[in-house]
Amino acid sequence: MSVVRTVATGVVVQLRQMRGTPDWFLALFTAPLTTAVFVTIFLHAGRGDLTAYGVLAPALIALWQMSLQTAGELIAKDRENGSLEALLAAPAPFAALLGGRVLAVVAVSLVAFAEAWAVGWALTGSPVDVAHPWVFLLVLGLTALAMTGWAGVMACVFVLARSARTFQNSLSYPFYVLGGVLVPVSLLPTWVEWPSRLVFLSWSSDLLRDALAAGPVVGLGARLAAVVGLGAAGYVVAHGLLGRTLQRVRRTGSLAHA
Amino acid sequence: MPELTTPAPEATGSVRRPSPGRRPSPGRIVAAASRVALADLRTVYTPLTWSVGWLGRIVTQVVFFAIIGLLLDDREALVRLFVGQAVMVAVVEVFMSVASTTWERSTGTLALLVSAPGPLWPVFVGRSLQWIPSGVATSGVALFVVGPFLGVTWTVGAAVAAGLTVLLTACAMYGVALSLAAVVLRGPRWRNIVSNVAHTLVMLVTGVTVPVATWPGWVQALAQTLPMTHGLDGVRALQAGGGPGAVGEPLLWAFLTGAGWFALAALGFTLFGEAGRRDGTIDLDE
Amino acid sequence: MAATTSPPDALHLESLTRVFTPRGKAPVTALDGVDLRLPAGGVHGLLGPNGAGKTTLCKIACTVLLPTSGRASVLGFDVVRDAAEVRREIGIVFGGERGLYGRLSARENLEFWCAMHGLGRRETRTRVSALLDRLGLADRADSLVETFSRGMKQRVHLARGLVADPPLLLLDEPTVGMDPVSAHDFRALVGELRTEGRTVVLTTHDMAEAESVCDTVTFVDHGRVVGTGTPGDVRGLLARGSRIRVHDVADARALAGPLDLPGVLTTHDPARRTLDVDVEGGQDVVGQVMAAILAAGHTSVTAGPPSLEEVYLGLLGTDGDGNRRGMRVGS
């Protein structure tokens, strides 16, 4: 099947490209330190019970950063070497290639979970317990998939609106707040909480925290549905945007001045 | 091979003799290089990308840390994390000079700089100055515009003194960043890793998130060498209601440690130039 | 310093060697015991293929690279011991688009380098204006360099090399990628610099360029000097006699008999329809050869010394067995 093979090609191409370029692994270099920042804040406040929060946040940040970076870099690189138009001219393989590349990065970024967990252990002297491992793994998998879809949206936005790339740097902290990666959005004022519920990450982070905690995970089905629904929305939007991008290539013959 | 000597060409005029020596002034080199910095700043940011994109990101970074206070249900922690992060964002931006220093390699000017009579270090001191005004401005917006929304208020006198303290801290931390940059020039592909890891370490140990005293002695000693530790002490003192006199000592220490780091950076750049001459890592069009 | 009666050489190399040791790889000898003296004044060409060692030589001369062994001095100053003095005496220009601050204007670029050379404010102003005028950049002086054409960038480069009014200019492949008109203007400028009494050391592999501007040429290959001297001298390295080229020769057999003379060698190129006749004897033999050619009905004939390109091809063109290069071709 050509789509599967293209995804696999995307994974391989991406891993090859990352080799020898430390920038791709930036998030993995900073994740342990960010873990230390968060965990020491909680320890200093005498709230060792929040260690799980401090361990989870840097890992989610790494996941987000690396996905977004692929989306941005992919477009910039292909644009530079002039292969973007050619790649876009064949719609299905392009989406599959993009998917494969993002998937590779998302997979690598999962290393940050292990790093953060190890640092948390080292600082507190006891490992963060995963009370509901299956829920945790399920949510993590869905989160990674949803991330891939939204990274695809970003990739298209970077093509369609050239200036968007200037804001790539700015897509970090606003989403860490709205995605509730450290502080649950339920603690935020309602006018912030409401829009944050449209960010799949806010559902993911709440679920992941609950999966680590000893108590039962309440309303699992509905919350999983939210992650799936918002993640699927990413794929739908990405598909639509890709179509528009293609139209533009066919109409103008080029993306050079998009 | 025998020594080959070429005859002098027929004289077409008097041959130019070496000119009397002139001593390039580091101050003028810094000023000249700062125009490169300014030009870079104009390219990196437009008024829109700076005010919406960059400032927005910085403000949410400060908010992200401040709301940890909500999680802890501790107002004091909120203020502490807010003030720490608001000053920290200036340092984050100043550390971008680690990357912009290596831009000199991609411009292809390095060989020309080494072979010019002027010293190398003032060029690098000047060419990344752009981050200081931008960093101090974002920090100022965070402290004095976002702050009041979180209940962190300032008297005019305290605000002026805090603004100046942030400026001095940013300048002094620029010396730290340049010292790192002098090392990273040897391996430019590590520029982003080094600047990010370094500023996160600064955040960790200088009292931005937890008091310096929480750390083991050797970490505390390291923190004392960083101007940020002292500058942040000053801003915190001002925020807690101390008069401008409260910042005297911290400012002095920030200044002294900063001067030390600048000296180290100058040495680093000079050694970089010498090492490049030895191992041939400076290419003519690099 | 060298002798007091004559000015020190522009470039004096003694057993100059540079070995690069890339990490994890075998050492590479870029310069292998080079001895060379280029006198002050005039235009000196360094010719050779890519990787011959020309750029390494330039880098050592401009103090960006230290020699592994041997000595190099520039206008009497040692490049290791007196690097500061050397840096005051030289201007460097290399070809290509890099080495300028694209986001600064031409004027700002020059002002920056004036600061690096320790020029005062007033001096900077007058020097920069004069250079912008001289290089035809006055109209675009305040435009950003990144908007310039390649030829214009190259002129900014030259102006930059001249900010300190250096007695010695090192030009490394300065006309690479230049259009013919710019290259022509550039050569005219090099002529002017020579007239002003500056020494110009120029690396190139454009033989026409070397032919038109150089007072001396030095052929470099495999890190060694394989020939040096005035263009006239180096022609002598190639062929001691004269070369006569007969044009429109479809079939050389008619000339084979009459030209079967001692010291005469013929080479027929059917594709170009030329017959090259190399004569090693004196003028009498040349006369005999000319008479035979004319007698055979050929009137389209050129005669003269070999071009530098021919010398270059002769010295460096055949990569037979490494360093031992044949000095004679067609024999």
pLDDT for position C320: 41
Mean pLDDT for the stretch of residues A179-188: 93
Q: Which residues of B274-285 are buried (b: 16+ CB within 10 A; e: fewer)?
A: eebbeebbbbbb
Whole-angstrom distance, CA of residue A204 vs CA of residue A224: 8
pLDDT for position A165: 63
pLDDT for position B60: 92
Is it the case that chain C and chain B have 3 or more CB pairs lying under 8 Å apart? yes
Put the strands of the sheet holding C77-78 in their side by side order: C28-38, C11-20, C69-74, C77-78
Percent of chain C with pLDDT over 70: 92
Interchain proximity C225–B4, CB inside 8 Å: yes
Residue B149 burial class via C-beta count within 10 angstroms: exposed 0-12, middle 13-18, buried 19 and up? exposed
Share the mean pLDDT of chain B: 90
Whole-angstrom distance, CA of residue B4 vs CA of residue C218: 10
Interchain proximity B60–A167, CB inside 8 Å: no
Q: Does residue C198 carry a pLDDT above 90?
A: yes
Evaluate whether A43 touches A123 at the Cβ level (below 8 Å): yes
Name the range with the highest mean pLDDT among A78-87, B69-78, C241-250, C309-318: B69-78
Q: Which of B42, B115, B278 sits opposite C62 (nearest CB)?
A: B115
Give the CA dihedral B258, B263, B267, B269, nearest 10 degrees: 50
Evaluate whether B6 touches C228 at the Cβ level (below 8 Å): yes
Higher pLDDT, A235 or B206: B206
Give the CA dihedral A162, A166, A167, A172, nearest 10 degrees: 120
pLDDT for position B8: 45
Q: Which residues of A192-227 are buried (b: 16+ CB within 10 A; e: fewer)?
A: ebeebeebbbbbbbbbbbbbbbeeebeebeebbebb
Q: pLDDT by residue (tens digit) across C131-152?
A: 999 998 999 999 999 999 888 8
What architecture does CATH give domain C240-305? 2-Layer Sandwich (3.30)
Residues of B in contact with C115 (CB under 8 A): 24-25, 28-29, 31-32, 118
Residue A239 burial class via C-beta count within 10 angstroms: exposed 0-12, middle 13-18, buried 19 and up? middle
Q: pLDDT by residue (tens digit) across C268-325?
A: 888 888 888 888 767 778 888 888 888 888 888 887 767 777 777 777 765 444 444 4
Higher pLDDT, A256 or B86: B86
Q: pLDDT by residue (tens digit) across B179-231?
A: 999 999 998 899 999 999 999 999 999 999 999 999 999 999 999 999 999 99
Whole-angstrom distance, CA of residue A65 vs CA of residue C100: 34
Number of domains in chain A: 1
The helix (H) or strand (E) run that includes residue C296 is: none
Q: Does residue C256 carry a pLDDT above 90?
A: no
Residues of B in contact with A43 (CB under 8 A): 210
Determine contact: A22 vs chain B, CB below 8 A: yes
Whole-angstrom distance, CA of residue C100 vs CA of residue B109: 7
Interchain proximity B70–A183, CB inside 8 Å: yes
Listed residue (B153, B124, B109, B116) closest to B241, CA to CA: B153
**Measured on CA atoms in the order C126, C128, C134, C138, is the torsion positive or negative?**
negative
Q: Does residue C26 carry a pLDDT above 70?
A: yes
Q: Residue A18: helix, strand or coil by DSSP?
A: helix
Integer-rounded Cα Rg, in Å, for chain A is 19
Q: Which residues of C145-157 are buried (b: 16+ CB within 10 A; e: fewer)?
A: beebeebbbbbbb
Sequence letter at residue C188: A
The helix (H) or strand (E) run that includes residue B40 is: helix B26-44
Interchain proximity A173–B60, CB inside 8 Å: yes
Q: Residue B55: helix, strand or coil by DSSP?
A: helix
Q: Read off the pLDDT band of C119 (50, 70, 90).
A: very high
Mean pLDDT for the stretch of residues A81-94: 70
Residues of B in contact with A39 (CB under 8 A): none
pLDDT for position B6: 45
Interchain proximity B204–A166, CB inside 8 Å: no
Interchain proximity A188–B67, CB inside 8 Å: yes
Quote ipTM for the complex. 0.90
The helix (H) or strand (E) run that includes residue C32 is: strand C28-38
The C-alpha angle with vertex B80 and arms to B74 and B82, in degrees rounded to 5, equals 100
Q: Which of C99, C111, C228 sits opposite B6 (nearest CB)?
A: C228
pLDDT for position C309: 76
Q: Does residue C24 carry a pLDDT above 80?
A: yes
Interchain proximity C112–B36, CB inside 8 Å: yes
CA closest to A34 among chain B residues:
B200
Taking only residues 70 to 129 of chain C, the set having a beta carbon closer than 8 angstroms to any beta carbon of chain B reads 75-77, 84-85, 87-90, 92, 94, 96, 98-104, 108, 111-119
Whole-angstrom distance, CA of residue A177 vs CA of residue B65: 9
pLDDT for position C285: 80
Q: Read off the pLDDT band of B160 (50, 70, 90).
A: very high
Strand extents, DSSP E, B226-275 = none
Residues of B in contact with A50 (CB under 8 A): 71-72
Q: Which residue has the tokens 């005035």?
A: C230
Q: pLDDT by residue (tens digit) across B7-50?
A: 444 444 466 655 555 788 999 999 999 999 999 888 888 888 88
Share the mean pLDDT of chain A: 86
Higher pLDDT, B131 or A14: B131
Q: Which of B57, B68, B196 sits opposite A30 (nearest CB)?
A: B196
Q: B61: distance to nearest CA of chain A, Å?
A: 5
Listed residue (C230, C194, C236, C227) closest to C210, CA to CA: C230
Interchain proximity B107–C194, CB inside 8 Å: no
Other beta carbons within 10 angstroms of residue C181's beta carbon come to 9
pLDDT for position C3: 43
Domain assignment of residue A175, given as a range? 2-252
Token readout for C69 is 């062994």
The C-alpha angle with vertex C200 and arms to C4 and B280, in degrees rounded to 5, equals 95
Q: C263: distance to nearest CA of chain B, Å?
A: 29
pLDDT for position C317: 63
Mean pLDDT for the stretch of residues B146-168: 94
Q: Which of B53, B63, B201 sits opposite A33 (nearest CB)?
A: B201
Q: Read off the pLDDT band of B164 (50, 70, 90).
A: very high
pLDDT for position C329: 34
Residues of B in contact with A163 (CB under 8 A): 49
CA closest to C62 among chain B residues:
B115
Let me know if residue A258 belongs to a domain: no
Q: Does residue C2 carry a pLDDT above 50?
A: no
Listed residue (A5, A28, A24, A27) closest to A16, CA to CA: A24
Q: pLDDT by residue (tens digit) across A96-119?
A: 887 888 888 888 888 999 999 999
What is the domain partition of chain C in residue ranges? 11-235, 240-305
CATH code that applies to domain C11-235: 3.40.50.300
Whole-angstrom distance, CA of residue C195 vs CA of residue C172: 20
Listed residue (B39, B166, B158) closest to B91, CA to CA: B166
Token readout for B81 is 């994390």
Q: Which of B57, B190, B211 sits opposite A169 (nearest CB)?
A: B57
Q: Which of B68, B201, B204 sits opposite A183 (nearest CB)?
A: B68
Determine contact: A40 vs chain B, CB below 8 A: yes
Q: Which of B49, B61, B203 sits opposite A37 (nearest CB)?
A: B203
Q: Does residue C175 carry a pLDDT above 50?
A: yes
Mean pLDDT for the stretch of residues A193-209: 93
Q: Does residue C7 carry a pLDDT above 50?
A: yes
Residue of A44, A186, A201 to mutate, testing the B interface (most B Cβ within 10 Å of its Cβ): A44
Which residues, at least 6 apart from C180, have a Cβ–Cβ distance to it below 8 Å? none
Evaluate whether B38 touches B30 at the Cβ level (below 8 Å): no
Q: pLDDT by residue (tens digit) across A20-65?
A: 888 889 999 999 999 999 999 999 999 999 999 999 999 999 999 8
Helices then strands (H, E): number in chain B? 15, 0
Q: Residue C110: helix, strand or coil by DSSP?
A: helix
Other beta carbons within 10 angstroms of residue C1's beta carbon come to 9
Residues of B in contact with C42 (CB under 8 A): 8-9
Whole-angstrom distance, CA of residue A165 vs CA of residue A30: 23
Q: pLDDT by residue (tens digit) across B268-281?
A: 999 999 999 998 88
Percent of chain C with pLDDT over 90: 45
Listed residue (C96, C211, C207) closest to C156, CA to CA: C96
Is it the case that chain C and chain A have 3 or more CB pairs lying under 8 Å apart? no
Interchain proximity C195–B284, CB inside 8 Å: no
Q: Which of B29, B116, B278 sits opposite C87 (nearest CB)?
A: B116
Q: pLDDT by residue (tens digit) across A238-247?
A: 888 888 877 7
Q: Which of B21, B108, B277 sits opposite C64 (nearest CB)?
A: B277
Q: Which of B12, B31, B277 sits opposite C195 (nearest CB)?
A: B12
pLDDT for position A98: 78
Q: Which residues of A62-82 are buried (b: 16+ CB within 10 A; e: fewer)?
A: bbbbbbbbbbbbbbeebbeee
Distances (CA, A) of C211 to A165, C187, C214, C231, C299: 51, 11, 6, 7, 28
Helices then strands (H, E): number in chain A? 11, 0
CA closest to A182 among chain B residues:
B68
Q: How far is CA B189 from the centre of its chain?
A: 19
First-to-final CA distance of chain B: 33
Interchain proximity C64–B9, CB inside 8 Å: no
Whole-angstrom distance, CA of residue C122 vs CA of residue C137: 20
pLDDT for position A93: 75
Residues of B in contact with A172 (CB under 8 A): 57, 61
pLDDT for position C258: 80
pLDDT for position B12: 44
Q: How many CA atoms lie within 13 A of C97 on its CB side?
A: 9
Helices then strands (H, E): number in chain C? 11, 14
pLDDT for position B9: 45
Other beta carbons within 10 angstroms of residue A87's beta carbon come to 15
Q: Which chains touch A (3 or more CB pairs under 8 A)?
A: B
Other beta carbons within 10 angstroms of residue C81's beta carbon come to 11
Is it the case that chain A and chain B have 3 or more CB pairs lying under 8 Å apart? yes
Residue C305 burial class via C-beta count within 10 angstroms: exposed 0-12, middle 13-18, buried 19 and up? middle
pLDDT for position C112: 96
Higher pLDDT, C7 or C103: C103
Q: Which chains touch B (3 or more CB pairs under 8 A)?
A: A, C
Sequence letter at residue C206: D
Q: Residue B71: helix, strand or coil by DSSP?
A: helix
